Structure 1
Amino acid sequence: MTDTVVAPTRRTWSELLLRGAIFYLLTELSTRLVGERGSVAPLWPPAGLLFGWLLLTARRDWWRVMLLAGITRYVVASRSVPEHALAAGYAVATLSVAMLSAALLRRLAPDGSSLTTVRGVLAFMAIPILVSGPLTGAIGVVVRAVAGSGTMNLVSWVQWWIGDALGVIVAAPVWLTARRVYRWGREAPWRHWLEVVAVFAVVLPGAALVFLMPAAQAEPMRPLLAVIVLPFVLAALRLGLMGVAWSLAPLAVIAAWGTMHGRGVFAALPGERAHHVLILQAYLSVVYVGVLLVAATVDGQRTSLRRLKVSEGKFRRLVDAAPVAMMVAGEDNQSLYVNPALATLVGGTAGHTDTVDAWWKRAFPDLAYRAALRSETDRRAATSAEGGALMPPLPANLVTADGTIRHVELQTVRAGEQQVTTLVDLTERVRAAEATRASEAEFRAIFERAAMPMALVALDGRPMKANPPLCDWLGYSAEELQRMRFTEFTHPDDVHQDVGLFTQLVSGQRDSYQVEKRYRRKDGVIVRGRLTASIVRDRPGVPPYCIAVVEDVTERAQLEMQLRQVQKLEALGTLAGGVAHDFNNILAALVGNLELARQELDEQHRAQEFLGEVERASRRAAELVRQILTFSRRQEQERRTMAVAPVLREATALLRAVVPASVTIEERISPDLPFVIADATQLHQVIMNLATNAVHAMREQGGTMSVALESVWVDEDLGRRVPELHVGPYVRLTVTDTGHGMSHETLDRVFEPFFTTKVAGEGTGLGLAVVHGIVRSHDGAITVTSELGRGTRFVVHLPVSAESPLVVQPAGNEVPPGNGAHVLFVDDEPVLARLAERTLQRFGYRATVVTRAGEALLALRGDARQFDVLVTDLTMPEMSGLQLAAEALRIRPDLPVILATGYSGMLTPETARQRGLRGLLIKPFTPESLARALAQAIHEDAAAA
């Protein structure tokens, strides 16, 4: 028996009636065992049957057990006790003692009914010996004495006491193990049946020899009293309590029956039967107590071994199923159990396949490394066992069966006499960590060495890391940037847009964004960059951050601004050129007719004063048109190879006479400057315009205007930033002031025509636009930098000329007469045609004036030799002046042709001569300028002839 026999359960009436019948039969048999009326039985099995019955029955059903057992007790007791009341009292009293004993055993020793431990057996035997036996014996002796069927003495009470106790000790285990015996009989192997047969084959004959022999012949059998106990000890060792209970019961019954009937070794002793019974009871008590204790000890060990085996099985299954590699060393630290995970990791098979030393040698071949590692592992295990806390795992490099190195963590703990070591394979984790470190190092190298500014930005907008290009670009150190928010170095006008996009980024509404914005450097300079920001969520549990990459587009933005400016100026120039052309025609008619009118009047005529005012106004209008044409680069320029320094000195001399005393002019001109090809008048206009604006910017607070002229070499870098420039030598003019400077918005529009920051009446807004047009028409470039409160700097680059300047003789003022030369004049404006006819006739020319190019061609094809000069307007509806000139020269190649135009565009005197033209006449022209042009053309033609 190795577990609880039967747990208390509810019983049906059929089961109870069956057990009641068994109880009644056993009581009848036990009564017959006593023999003579008034004798005390050596043991009372019904007491054990009732005790076991109560232990196997739920407490709520005890009343039914008491009812059935009480009837049996009353019936049996009434035979020896005539008084019914006394018999009923005896039944009630003895049953009450039985019920009290069962309840007491359940309370004091819950495992007493299982009979699986020494403690349970002791409690089981103590209750009948110390409680139910004395009480039942006392009740029985008293009742029999009252009934007159016995005497009340100590021997009778002791006999009854021990007999009742032995009855419980003998019969109760049989009753409690009955179901277990039934199961055992069905499941036991044949060798166990042989052991049972052998026990009974010895016990039954031996018991018959010792206790059933006639008393006269039993004396020689007395030594067998000790020998007969040996089979019971064997039964206890082999079969446990179950075997002892069922093998001792026949012995007890045979010994009691023989002794009560005057047979056996105890009946052969001198004295009365009562003394023989006491000796028998003493013998059975010693045998039962000793053998039951041996059986309980054996069952307890078996139970412990079985539980240990179950526990080891569970532990083994747990270890085998564990995903972590484990090995368990025995108490000798030599036997080793390896679980499948470790076998898979290292190689080999799971189970008890190796010793600890052999495993360590195979897993860690290096002797010194193995010794140090094992010593540290044992030390940590001992420390953990003493302190009760796990020590940190120990990293190690383990060699597998195929020679592969695996990175593991060892952790050893002591579990009783065993030592359990777990190995966590960190190889993939280590490789991932190494890959992560390599990736981080690679990213760090890229981050630090990248040419573009980059930063890692926290979700609060603070740069956690900034690479050197970003620090250099903004002028801050990395430590300074880490203490700032990106809004602190963003241009105030761009903060709102950038913050909105950044908020969407960190809130998960977008993964990245790109925006072009302005940055404020530490020194206050505004730079422009294209920002690309992306959110990074690389590892779980790590707060996300942003990576920001900035492309410096300051130069590109400047180039785009200049391109827009150029496109705007070209568009306005085209418009201005067209307007100027028509306006020049009007002015030409106005000026020409005005000159003719004044010539018709006497010099003292009152109208001369009024006509003079009209002439001056017309001249101013013509100057305005000239500025518009200069802005549009359509005004003919009188370029020549010249030095810039004299023009600059002349301009600064004029300025010194008019600037306020609070403004200082500093002039710095490098010696041996190269020559440029320029129009001196327009160059003078550029210098005066820039200088005037500089003085105007300093008129309130005063300051210094610096004018510098030097020779420079434009390299590729500057050429990329300023597309108008090419690699080569240039003369650089720099005009710098310390005035109030310009805002970014003003700087963007500084060269726009009609844009001005001056109050009404102080400027037309054409000054810098004209300057820009003049410089561009000279194949140069002009740039400007400015900052509010720090002044402005204009830089003009003019290409160097390889030629030396020519000395030009001034022309005379006398107008040569026409002498009847025949002029063909073509202009689509009738007013100008009539004016030209009158002017030509006045200076002595014969004039044929037409307003259509077709009419002129008809005249030329009719007789081209009749004309001495052809004067044609450039822009006409049917055919341009250049086309007409080409047809005329095809008809008569030696015909002098003069081209009249309000603007020359790309047509210069040199290109005009290449086309066969003898001159260019710029509108509005005066009668004198027309007469001189005709005279020069006729003179050149005569000289050529």
Structure 2
Amino acid sequence: MIIEKNNKTRAKSVPVDANAVEARARATESGETVDVAGTPAVEPGRQVEEALLIFKESLENSVDAIGMTTPDGHHYYQNRAFTELFGTVGHDPSSVYVDKKKADEVFQTIMPGGRWSGELKMYNKDRQVRDIFLRAYANKNDHGNITALVGIHTDITERKQAEEELRISENKFRSIAEKASDSIFIKDISRRYAFANPAMQELLDMPENEIVGKSADEIFGSEQGRIIREIDDKAFCGQSVNTARSLVIDGKEKFFSTSQIPLVDSNGAITSIMGIVRDITAIKQAEEALRENEERFRAIFNNAAVGMALTSLTGHILKVNQAFCMFLAYSPEELTDMHFSEVTHPGDFDIDARLYQELIEGVRTSYMLDKRYVRKDGKVVWGRLGFSLLRNTDGSPKYGVGTCEDITARKRAEKEIRHLNQTLEQQVAERTEIAEARARQLQALSVEMVEAEEHERQRIAQILHEDLQQILVGARFQAQSASRRANPDAVFAHIDRLLEEAIAVSRGLSQQLSPPVLHQFGLAAALEWLARENDEQFGLKVQLETHAPDVKDSSLKVFIFRAVQELLFNIVKHSGVKSANVILTAVDQHLVLTISDPGRGFDPEILNSPVKKGGLGLVSLRERVRAIGGDLVIDSAPGRGCRFTLTVPRSLSETTVPEAARPRSDEPQPMIFPSYAAVFDPNGIRVLFADDHQVLRQGLISMVKGQPDIVVVGEAADGEEALELTRQLNPRLVVMDISMPKMDGIEATRRIKEEMPDVRVIGLSMFDDENVARKMREAGAAAFVSKSESSTELLKTIYEVAGNRPDVARTESSPENTHKTS
């Protein structure tokens, strides 16, 4: 560097090498001339002096703080910058060092002739710590002796602070960029990417090392790269560019908003650009969905079948659809700007206003209310109002939206239904009262029935004890006395008369319980017998007339007979007269019985009274008649006698016939079976009985003992015993119970048929179950009989199974050839 002399202007401040300072000092002492760099010159002495003056002035004006110390540590020179920075150091130059060890390191390095340079901490004149860049060395003469220790100090505190701020700024930027959800990039002056944050890497699906150094053309293709370059050029021209456009990435169109700004250096020159890219695809889609929703809402609003209205927050109508106009008979123009109170019935305004206020205050999000409206023509109509608020993005209310369904017809129907419900409730209460009265009657009836049953038992017991048993005891005494007399004929004759009386009493009791005439000679004959019985027993004269064909239905015949019997007995008990009329006629598909008497009569309403203590027999009879599809009508009044009209259908279905009145057809009938046993065994059919109940086994054996061609060869109490006895006794047929201990009948049958296939087996069970029968047949049984069947059925099965020929035995267990009674 050339330093020019200027007497009036201060020389430019430059850093000065201490070697040059020392070289000039030596030249001055020897009278030589040197240049600024320390090279000897051929100038006269005056020029040397001027050069030294310029050099010293340069030292003084240098921005670097320069200080010199003798080898023994005496500080003897400092320039103006040194003084401004450190003040007057004094004799100890190490006092400005913050770190004394560092001071020792510097001096130990330069004393041998070395050089030291680096950053360290030093105190300024205000004892503030400053960052200093120090260049220190020892200056030597020609003889190699150290003449001075030179230190050039550059205050780098501001630079270090700037670097720290820059580092912090860069860290902040990188931290923000790395965590940002938006894509951030930097491009250098060549339009190539210099930085891409993680969001940018994710957007492009590329790592940063594949992005940095590439242009937009290389990443997006030439067509899209051209568009991106045009935007970059605007930013490099110093503009802040904001754009929104679509790009195709991985074959999918996406929408982005981009902001780009230029980055400049300290001189204001643009060195790069930074861009922030935000993926607004979802926003675009939401905007499109919002637009479609708005169009859809508009279509629904205008075409809805229910009334709809938009209102301001003050309750004024802003917009209505056609359905709402038709509901209130106003035009859209007439309703616009009207307050909702103007169309609300006064009786419903307060509750509507309260709910609306709660909606505005946020107490509720919506409400629904059935309210009355006043039409333009003054007519009151009902509407179901549903109301809510449309809100801004910040949650504040914007509009009110309401729907209104015309429910006038519904309200009218509800009113009618309430009226009907009240009527129905009244009727239900009345029917409940009747039902409760009927329940009390039935309860009393059940007690009376128990008492009547007990009374009948006592009557029958009295007949047996007072009549039949007394006669039999008397006959026994007569028989005992006859054995002691020489001529017992008279006694035996008396015994014979007593036995005849006993037979008559038992026959009378039997006829009362079930008259044979009823089953043998028909209803008319039975009614005639009943009339005679009432005359003989109670002195009641019954005038009987029958004008109907005989009843073929046995259940109906029994039912009518018992009904007439009850009604005649009722006359005997309550009428107070000794005469009655019974008339039987046929009308269409019904039989009509009229039973009347001229007695004292009664009020029929007492039959429905909850406090009634009598007449329960008539209530029971009426209920039974109605149960079979008939009716009992009672015509009576106090002092006017009674007329009972009983109407029943001509025939009854099985479901309406009382169980006790149904005729039984399962009574055993005597049968003569052909003897097949002689074909196979001249001594009869050899039978083995197997059952775990001894009483039942004995009953079975007693049943067949009267049959001359059946021989009982043994009896077993379980399956194992049955198998063993079959092996020993070789019976022709085994009657096998299924449920037995040790071995059941199914397993025993299977074992018998495996060992002795010619032996026939008949399954016997208390349960009439097809599955049990099937398993028994699968085991080899020839037949299956339920224990509930008659004894004749079992005898018949024994004869049939034993009579099968050996050549057809292979098919005897098939369902079509197996006899099963159930």
Pick the structure with more helix per residue. Answer: 1
- Highest RCO, 1 vs 2 (Cα 8 Å, sep ≥ 6): 1
Under a length normalisation based on structure 1, what TM-score does the superposition of the two structures give? 0.31
Under a length normalisation based on structure 2, what TM-score does the superposition of the two structures give? 0.35
